[in-house]
Amino acid sequence: SEGVIFLMVTGENQYPQVAAAVELAPDDYIIKPFCANVLNNRLSQLIIKKAFFRPYYECAIHQEYEKAVLILRELLETPECKHYRYECRRLIAENLLRVGELEQAIAQYQQLIEDGGFPWAKLGLARCLMQQEQLEAALSLCGEAIKEAPLYTNAYDLKAEIHSNLGQHEQARDVVHTALEIAPLNFDRKRQVI
């Protein structure tokens, strides 16, 4: 659940293991060894953040995505949101996409791209374009995201899905193989190439 803190503690510092951990989407992760102050500081920051987004999480848990957008827009206007403004805007765009408000979601993602060129915003826009059957444009955005963040495996996953939707199965398989080279411990991708 989004409202639960997911802090991963690991002794692994080799890239494949770290990449596998990051793909589990923890709120944060700490590599051993660390001192108690580091753990305390990270947990304190996560508790504050989860408390801030709590009204949103309550809506998301009940799949009340339209209400979630309204709450997120209210949170965005608060002074406390200055530390979380991009995450808040990302969540607004994701929930607009969930409820089928494609034009609003597209506008949100385009503004985020203009503001920061975030690869994840390009991926969100690509998902919107997929919904509109603009597969070539979505594929291009995935390519841009990969160029900017070559280790961003979610971009490879979406690119593979788009290639597959276009009937380009060999290209899709090649993209999955590339993602496996980055994060070789992902078993979902391994199943795709069997």
Q: Cβ atoms within 10 A of the Cβ of 56, count?
A: 23
The proportion of the chain whose per-residue pLDDT surpasses 90, expressed as a percent, equals 72
Tens digit of each residue's pLDDT (9 = 90 or more) over 41-72: 999 999 999 999 999 999 999 999 999 999 99
Q: Whose CA is closest to 80, among 88, 91, 70, 69?
A: 88
Provide the residue count of the chain: 194
CA distance 2 to 54: 9
> Which tokens in the block code for residue 86?
């991009």
pTM, two decimal places: 0.87
Residue 25 pLDDT:
77
pLDDT band at 185 (very low <50, low <70, confident <90, very high): confident
CA distance 108 to 110: 6
